[in-house]
Structure 1
Amino acid sequence: MDALQDLRVLDLSTGVAGPIVGMFLADFGADVVKVEPPSGDPARSSPGFAMWNRGKRGVVVDPASPPELSWLRDQIAGADVVLTNGAPTLDLFSLQADELHAHPALVHVSMPVYLPDYTPWAGGRESAGLLAAFGGQAARQSSESGDPVESVYPTVLYAHGVWATVCTVAALVERERSGVGQEVTVSGVNALQQLTMTFLVIDPDEDDPATAVGAAGRHPTYTRMRAGDGLWLGVGALGPKFEAALLRALELEYILDDPRIGGKLINLVAPQNIEWVQKAVSDAFLTKTRAEWLEIIDRLGVPCGPVDDRDDWLDHPQLAAIGMRAEVDDPERGHVVMPGVPINLSRTPGRVRGPAPRLGEHTGRVEAWPARKRKPAPPRTPIRPGPLSGYRILNTGTFLASPYAGSLLASLGAEVIKVEPPTGDPFRAPAYSANRGMRSLAIDLKSDVGRDTFYRIVAKSDAFMDALRPGLTTEMGIDYDSLQKVNPGIVTMSLAAYGHAGAMRDKGGVDMVVQCMTGMMKAEGGDDEPVANTIAVCDIVTAAMSSLAVCLALYHRERTGEGQATSDSLIGTATYLQSGEIIRFAGRPKSPVGGRNHKGTDPINRIYQAADGWIRLDGTAVPGVRSVLAAALGIPEAALDTDSAATEAISTAVAERNAADVVRLLNSAGVPAVRVRTVGEVIRDPRLANAEFLHVYPGDDGKFITGPGNMAHFSRTHRYGLLLPPGVGEHTADILAAAGFGDDELAALSEQGAVVAGAPMVHALLPAYR
């Protein structure tokens, strides 16, 4: 049985993010019908289309044809899920939101490109560059110049697709219990919140952090370095244990004793220390070859790896070992090699079920979906605080990716318990933002009494998550086979950097090193040195992948009663995050590369400096855009004949004007453009305030802290309210009491050191480490 067997999905979305939702649903067994107008999805010309629309059937519906619109309405009546880009999709096919609401069991997933009722650029089409620029992502990227930087990847769109899939399946999980559907809105702004979460948990009264710290980023031992032979490597020494070990291996012990560090390793990333510490570390790496450093660092147990080429990544044997390389015969492109399915379910695995369809390939051949036989609607429509309200999830993850998965599930209403050792997660303070919304149980799982105590909690839980190296859960007695003996319906989710198979399965890995090995950094840097993404993209999107695995398994369990083991990997996510760039077929255009202060690869789709700031334009979908730009900016059209000349001419014209004036001028001419905003500007946007983009609360140090607001909207099961991180063991007593432990048992467990009951978290922020 497939996880989404018999699920019917109408995919009316276009572009990248919406079709990705349909892709994941198809990968796990849903019948997904892609509906397009006669002109087709504008993204059909993108190489990634072949992946984002794989496994679907394709139908053309002419908005001017009443019989075809009637067929579409009939299909909606029999569908379980309808995917749209929001109002533009409904308008295109002459649909009204009320028509969708008339089907009580339907889950309508609306994915507007910015906000449901507002897009700040002309045309309203999806654009990763515009979204990243207007949302603070571009301005927050570390660089040599400190100016905004353009990524060569549409990362925010890839993140949008995964997160919207999580929310879709969460709504389906809830529907299994209530029998009622709802509208789920996951906007481009929500994607920004999910992806740039660490940028948003800040003191709003502080200035934006300086970004002119170099292409390596802020952290001197969690970065990429050039070795003495000129080759580059990635180093993942994060946290006091690894940081100190690497500095000693580099013979830089004096840094630990320097009064500017003051014995506190967090001061390595204090603004006044970044430059001199980075230089000392960089110089030390030049004393040996890359191979020598990789051997030394690996012996320390610190994650590390070479900076490799993106174009070679799909051929890496580790990808084949974990099933992340897929091959299909495409009706238009021939033989296609693409990333596989990045999450694994033991009972209901996903798989690539076929190529993307030709335009209208199945028109007239898609059978009418009959109306579902459903249980009677409840007398009162259930309203709940989140679609996952009532589910309990145990999360033992540390550092960033796995804890953030717990936080995402908590944002969807689940009760998520952060299970940590009595001393706490060693990275809980730097990863303050990733632990929001969970409760803390401090327990010694390495002791017999602690493990037996934990089993009693597992018996009353729905899912268990870990990010331990493969095999450690078995040694500790907390693997799926052990836990399902306690709770036959348990769902487990295990994250491993390199997956749970293959020669690299036992290696430790972190976001920074995975960016290096999978070619992401080299592609961002182009012919310059490798560029580290300031966002922990592999960690953050893996958190969403892990959440999706849990939701898919819970959906299957609701329908069958069966639990199962699930897993994912950082390299699986990194491969997915390059899906449009590394997919292969004969004749595909070469994927773009960047540079240290990259502004864009095309004069009509890049960042430009104005007299008082920066603007980002995206004219890729504008007919005759060079002529339009010439007229709007007062440039001779002949000056835009070549890319180099066009870039120079547009740069000169924009530099003479204020950013707001340029943006107004271009949008009036139909060329989408926005100002490049800092995070400090973004968090003060009144439209975003009205959309609950941000939560603000007082810290314990007299300052204030901001954090992402709700990252999706559910019409019937919306969760409201602030999410705060817990202190170590803050909820131990309450959690044990809920599991049936009496006061005497709790006291005995505390005396034995098996559990710790602690105080609330001190709400104060450390310096940014990226």
Structure 2
Amino acid sequence: MSAYRGVRIVDFTQGVAGPMAGMLLGDLEAEIVKVEPPGGDRAQKLAGYQTWNRNKQVLTLDLADSDGLATARTLIAGADVVVFDHAPGRLEALGLDAETLTAAHPGLVHAWMPPYGTTGDWSDLPPHHLLLSGLTGFAFRQGAWSDQPVHLTLPIAWYAQAVLGAGAIGAALFERTRSGRGQGLVVTGLHGAAEAAPPAKVFVEEPLPRPVPPGGNPRYRLYQCADGEWFFLGTLFNNFYRKAFEVLGLEDAFDALEADMLAARDLLEGMFLTRTRDEWLEALRANDVPCAPTGRREAWFASEVVRDAGLRLELTHPALGTVATPAPSVKFATTPAWVRGLPQPVADPPAWPPRTASTSDAPTSAASGRGGPLAGVKVLNLGTVIAGAYAGTILTQLGADVVKIEPREGDPFRSDGSQFMVYNRGNRALGLDLKTPQARALFLDLVRQADVVIDNYRLGVRARLGIDYPALKAANPRIISCSINAYGESGPRAALPGFDPLLQAEGGMMAGQGGAGDPVLYTIAVNDVATAATVAGAVIAALNARERTGEGQEVLTSLMAQSLLFQSGEVTAYDGRPPNVEGDVDCIGVSALHRFYACADGWIGLVAETAAEARALGGVLGLELGASALDEPRDGALADSIAAALAARPRDEALAAVRAAGVAAAPAIRGPEALEDAFLAQNGFVEAWTHPRLGPAISTRALSAFSRTPTGFSRPTPDLGEHSAEILAEYGVPADRIAELMAQGAVF
């Protein structure tokens, strides 16, 4: 039995985010009927359609037709969850909005996942990730050589929206087991962008210069070798960085160059050009230095590493033949995910009997509306850096009580900078030295009262500390243990250290973004933020499973698994599949009519998809544009003509004219503008808060919105060990014992 077996979902979404959210729930045995309009899903010709809609029955209905709408209503009456991605106002016009449907069906979870926001000037745009990345400042945050927005060839914000959406639906279902009631929830493209690249202004931190495509820090950067091939040096921490200098025979220079990034970069660039990539990789890996070659995603998905990890599945399609699709990215020990088949068209809807809502079975202690949907869930988070730590923060804003547990030296990522602050906001902090027997015994005492433990230790560390899953289960059979590592839990790479860019490199992300040019490092820690959101959703799924079985379980995932999940559309493979869009260094867009352009006082993104839209754009710009314009490259004579026509126009004037002509367009704002932008403010993108020691800050408001169990952050980012005594007292540790543990140094 999987976590969502028996849960009925009607999925009215198209494209990437909504269908992929359904995929994640369907992999855990939810029964999903995907409702498509007569023309089909707008993404039906993309290879990813086969992956994002696996395990689903596909039914065609015309909601503009009274019979089609009536059939949809009948389906919804028998469902537990309904998912939409329509633009604002469309659901109200159809009578399918959350307020209407949850009033008619009190047990229904109504999920709305629009591609942009829920209100404001840009929320009715047709869905294009280029426009979303421009609207949120995402495109200006990517590393570049030039002062321009960059089009990301991976739809990272929509992938993040998908994983957040699945987690939010799971959280609403979990809360329903306690209250007996459904509710409306919203996870927008803006939420996805905020999760993937959190907007932040923290205290008096000096803004950092924009990074360059290879990476700005010499210890964490792409390097080219003598044979022209590239690899990524992932020595984020000093111990690894020092080892790299030792391999290079430069150990005597380490102390002098540790703080001189420019000199270190120049020296390392020159050294790595003296030997081939394979020679350097062999020498570095032999000394436990994290590194990885850049490669193509196709080779990665077909590699023995991925196959041995069980992350590639091959299914049969009646027309396409063999379709290779990424396997579920999380392993649940007792309630596993599994893929039963590719999308299956059906002529008639299933005969679901109507769901009858009742609160009679809900526990009398259920406190509907107080706190988030995970209120009362206790999480002990041993996770560090981004993937593990940020997973706890995502759970925190859903209402869980998350305790961040750190050793005396703290999370190695700990600082007063914006990244640490946003990735750890809302938690409480407990200082615990797990290397001491007293602290280990205390930790197991806490486990007896907790629901979840999260960690991202290297393979074997949990066992050495005596806190692996068997030890946790012995203390509490209901505990859910979620563990993350870089390369999975088996195989020759399992014990290796790993960081996000190593999977970006070998997994093909960097080559895909760089296209025919040099590989490009994603400034966004794609695999880290993907893993954080995935872990949060997996914990929620395991909580739902526990409601059915009464027992906890071990949950495992890896950065490697997410290197496929966040390329699921790009790696799905079959003979004759359409090619992926390739990027370039400082990639400006997809084509001449799907890219960013500079105006007199700022940048815009525009997308014309049809011959009629091309002609309309030409009319605005004084150019002759026909259907052939749709095939013109992003850099060429037509793009130059459009650039010249827009260069002298004020941005707002150009946007108004282009949109009035029926062409999709939106501003491309710089990162700091996102903190004050009117459209983003209307949609609650960020909020101001205060750190008691450091002062005012601005960062993400929430990563979802619920109608009955509000989400958001109730605490600032904690200082090291800030809440130790408070937490231990709440867990029932006597005051004299707390004092004794602190005197011994086990707690601080």
TM-score range, shorter chain: over 0.9
Per-residue deviation, 1:256:
5.3
Correspondence for 2:406: 420
Correspondence for 1:18: 18
Counterpart pick for 2:373 among 387, 409, 426: 387
Correspondence for 2:222: 224
Correspondence for 1:242: 240
Per-residue deviation, 1:79:
0.7
Q: Distance in 2 between matches of 1:97 and 1:456?
A: 43
Q: Distance in 2 between matches of 1:641 and 1:314?
A: 31
Q: Distance in 2 between matches of 1:723 and 1:526?
A: 43
Q: Distance in 1 between matches of 2:715 and 2:289?
A: 32
Give the direction of change, closer, same or farther, for the CA distance of 1:669–1:444 in structure 2 (3 Å limit): same
Per-residue deviation, 1:91:
5.5
Moved more, 420-429 or 73-82: 420-429
Q: Distance in 2 between matches of 1:48 and 1:399?
A: 31
Structure 1 residue 309 corresponds to structure 2 residue 296: yes
Moved more, 714-723 or 691-700: 691-700
Q: Once the two structures are superposed, what CA deviation does each residue of 1:312-336 show, in whole Å capped at 9, x if it has no partner?
A: 1111112122221111112342221
Give the direction of change, closer, same or farther, for the CA distance of 1:92–1:316 in structure 2 (3 Å limit): farther
8 Å CA contact 1:4–1:25 kept in 2: the answer is yes
Give the direction of change, closer, same or farther, for the CA distance of 1:690–1:141 in structure 2 (3 Å limit): same
Provide the secondary structure at the position in 2 that maps to 1:637. Answer: coil
Correspondence for 1:343: 330
Per-residue deviation, 1:623:
5.3
What is the 5 A alignment of 1:158-307? 158-197=159-198, 200-203=199-202, 209-211=208-210, 213-250=211-248, 257-258=255-256, 268=259, 275-307=262-294
Correspondence for 2:360: 376
Counterpart pick for 1:629 among 606, 617, 623: 617
Moved more, 342-351 or 585-594: 585-594
Q: Distance in 2 between matches of 1:169 and 1:484?
A: 24
Give the direction of change, closer, same or farther, for the CA distance of 1:319–1:64 in structure 2 (3 Å limit): same
Q: Distance in 2 between matches of 1:442 and 1:511?
A: 26
Q: Once the two structures are superposed, what CA deviation does each residue of 1:336-361 show, in whole Å capped at 9, x if it has no partner?
A: 1111111111111111121123xxx2
Q: Distance in 1 between matches of 2:724 and 2:93?
A: 53
Correspondence for 1:411: 397
Structure 1 residue 660 corresponds to structure 2 residue 662: no
Correspondence for 1:117: 119
Q: Once the two structures are superposed, what CA deviation does each residue of 1:580-603 show, in whole Å capped at 9, x if it has no partner?
A: 112111211211211111112311
Structure 2: gaps spanning 5 or more residues = none
Per-residue deviation, 1:698:
4.8
Q: Once the two structures are superposed, what CA deviation does each residue of 1:616-654 show, in whole Å capped at 9, x if it has no partner?
A: 11223x453322221221102369375144323222222
Q: Distance in 2 between matches of 1:541 and 1:31?
A: 25
Correspondence for 1:762: none
Structure 1 residue 599 corresponds to structure 2 residue 597: no
Q: Distance in 1 between matches of 2:204 and 2:444?
A: 45
Correspondence for 2:518: 529
Per-residue deviation, 1:494:
0.6
Correspondence for 1:495: 484
Structure 1 residue 725 corresponds to structure 2 residue 723: no
8 Å CA contact 2:130–2:589 kept in 1: the answer is no
Q: Distance in 2 between matches of 1:703 and 1:149?
A: 33
Q: Once the two structures are superposed, what CA deviation does each residue of 1:418-458 show, in whole Å capped at 9, x if it has no partner?
A: 11112211222263321211111211222222211111100
Correspondence for 2:341: 354
Correspondence for 2:732: 740
Correspondence for 1:326: 313
Q: Once the two structures are superposed, what CA deviation does each residue of 1:12-55 show, in whole Å capped at 9, x if it has no partner?
A: 11111011111111110000000112122211122211111111
Q: Distance in 1 between matches of 2:333 and 2:98?
A: 38
Q: Distance in 2 between matches of 1:293 and 1:531?
A: 20
Letter in 2 for 1:376: S
Letter in 1 for 2:717: P
Q: Distance in 2 between matches of 1:626 and 1:727?
A: 55
Moved more, 404-413 or 447-456: 447-456
8 Å CA contact 1:222–1:237 kept in 2: the answer is yes
Give the direction of change, closer, same or farther, for the CA distance of 1:138–1:233 in structure 2 (3 Å limit): same
Correspondence for 1:450: 439
Q: Distance in 1 between matches of 2:228 and 2:498?
A: 23
Q: Once the two structures are superposed, what CA deviation does each residue of 1:376-403 show, in whole Å capped at 9, x if it has no partner?
A: 3879971121111101011111111100
Provide the secondary structure at the position in 1 that maps to 2:585. Answer: coil
Q: CA RMSD in A?
A: 2.3
Q: Once the two structures are superposed, what CA deviation does each residue of 1:193-228 show, in whole Å capped at 9, x if it has no partner?
A: 11111xx233487785432x4211221111211123
Q: Distance in 2 between matches of 1:93 and 1:363?
A: 23
8 Å CA contact 1:385–1:718 kept in 2: the answer is yes
Give the direction of change, closer, same or farther, for the CA distance of 1:415–1:700 in structure 2 (3 Å limit): closer
8 Å CA contact 2:79–2:108 kept in 1: the answer is yes
Correspondence for 1:766: none
Provide the secondary structure at the position in 2 that maps to 1:601. Answer: strand
Correspondence for 2:664: 672
Provide the secondary structure at the position in 2 that maps to 1:710. Answer: coil
Per-residue deviation, 1:682:
1.2
Per-residue deviation, 1:611:
2.5
Q: How many residues are paired up?
A: 737
Q: Once the two structures are superposed, what CA deviation does each residue of 1:140-162 show, in whole Å capped at 9, x if it has no partner?
A: 11111132111111111111101
What is the 5 A alignment of 1:577-596? 577-596=566-585
Q: Distance in 2 between matches of 1:234 and 1:303?
A: 9
Q: Once the two structures are superposed, what CA deviation does each residue of 1:127-146 show, in whole Å capped at 9, x if it has no partner?
A: 21100011111111111113
Correspondence for 1:71: 71
Q: Distance in 2 between matches of 1:96 and 1:190?
A: 20
Q: Distance in 2 between matches of 1:178 and 1:373?
A: 11
Structure 1 residue 510 corresponds to structure 2 residue 512: no
Provide the secondary structure at the position in 1 that maps to 2:201. Answer: coil
Give the direction of change, closer, same or farther, for the CA distance of 1:640–1:652 in structure 2 (3 Å limit): farther
Identity %: 35
User: TM-score, with normalisation over the residues of structure 2?
Assistant: 0.94
Provide the secondary structure at the position in 2 that maps to 1:183. Answer: strand
Provide the secondary structure at the position in 1 that maps to 2:430. Answer: strand
Provide the secondary structure at the position in 2 that maps to 1:335. Answer: strand
Per-residue deviation, 1:71:
2.1
Moved more, 517-526 or 243-252: 243-252
Provide the secondary structure at the position in 1 that maps to 2:531. Answer: helix
Provide the secondary structure at the position in 2 that maps to 1:194. Answer: helix
Letter in 1 for 2:577: R
Correspondence for 2:35: 35
Q: Distance in 2 between matches of 1:532 and 1:463?
A: 34
Structure 1 residue 474 corresponds to structure 2 residue 475: no
Letter in 2 for 1:108: H
Per-residue deviation, 1:94:
5.0
Per-residue deviation, 1:81:
0.5
Letter in 1 for 2:501: M
Q: Once the two structures are superposed, what CA deviation does each residue of 1:447-476 show, in whole Å capped at 9, x if it has no partner?
A: 222211111100000011111122221222
Moved more, 372-381 or 245-254: 372-381
Structure 1: gaps spanning 5 or more residues = 757-770
